Amino acid sequence: MNDVVLAVLAVVAAMVVAVAGFVVVDRLWPVERREPNNEVAGFIYAVVGPMYAILLAFVVFVVWGHFEDAKADVATEANQVAVIWDQARGLDPAHERALRQVAVAYARDVVNDDWALMSSARLSPQADKDVVEMFDVVLSLPVETARDQALYAQLLSDVHDLANERRVRLLRTQDSLHPVLWAVLLIGAAITVAYSYVFGMRQRLVHGVLVAALAGTVVGMLCMIRLIDGPFVGTVSVRPDAFETILRSMSGGSVP
């Protein structure tokens, strides 16, 4: 069962529990006794509700920003591999072939090995070796003319940038909400939903529907945050699509 299905079930369960809680409160605290408190309760709820809504919106914004940043970083890293592959055409045949082979190997190892390890904040040792081999190929280049020197400096910079992007991707695996913030979000959700029981409405069915809608909305937002919190974890995560596209381009249309 994937994370999206679990999120839907969590929303449904939250709505059922919220309505059940409302039924219990309604029986223990009749509407006739709650109704006189509506004005004061509404004033307080007008402060508490927006505060939690702002916090929830801010967290969604931050988490979604982390997710999009991670996706952009992956695209930048994949493009850097393609840049190295393209720059190799300026080398002699032997070095061109060696550098292009290791560039293809790196992209392939990222797709096949790295992504399976990203959820545990690890990277493929084989892909690490590919980066080292790229440096070795570039450092072995003959530098005899001004053109050779310029190409050497550019390739060395490109490989260095690729290694940096790889480290950034590893660091992105740690982009997740602090447990304290999760505690605040969950406690705030419980208070926000439970506070809706205080109001006294003669139409109990309408009140119950509103409670269910509120609980479903809040828990749905929390589930969305959970799904995209940690850009390389779970069903909704950053995929190696950019590397697969680059790999097809470097391999003549097929992923080796």
Residue type, 135: F
**Is the Cα torsion angle 26, 28, 30, 33 positive or negative in sign?**
negative
- Please answer whether residues 163 and 131 qualify as being in contact, where contact means their C-beta atoms are separated by less than 8 angstroms: yes
| Residue 255 domain flag | no
| Residue 35 domain flag | yes
- 256 residues of the chain, pLDDT tens digit each: 578 888 999 999 999 999 999 999 988 888 888 888 888 888 888 888 899 999 999 999 999 999 999 999 999 999 999 999 999 998 999 999 999 999 999 999 999 999 988 888 889 999 999 999 999 999 999 988 998 899 999 999 999 999 999 999 999 888 888 899 999 999 999 999 999 998 888 888 999 999 999 999 999 999 999 998 888 887 788 999 999 999 998 876 444 4
Among candidates 132, 139, 104, which has minimal Cα distance to 249?
104
| Residue 228 domain flag | yes
Domain containing 225: what range? 3-250
pTM of the model: 0.83
* Contacts for 226 with CB less than 8 Å, ≥ 6 apart: 3, 7
Among candidates 218, 216, 219, 211, which has minimal Cα distance to 194?
211
| Residue 217 domain flag | yes
- Domain count within the chain: 1
Question: Does residue 121 come out as left (phi exceeding 0), alpha (psi in the -120 to 50 range) or beta?
Answer: left
| Residue 107 domain flag | yes
| Residue 256 domain flag | no
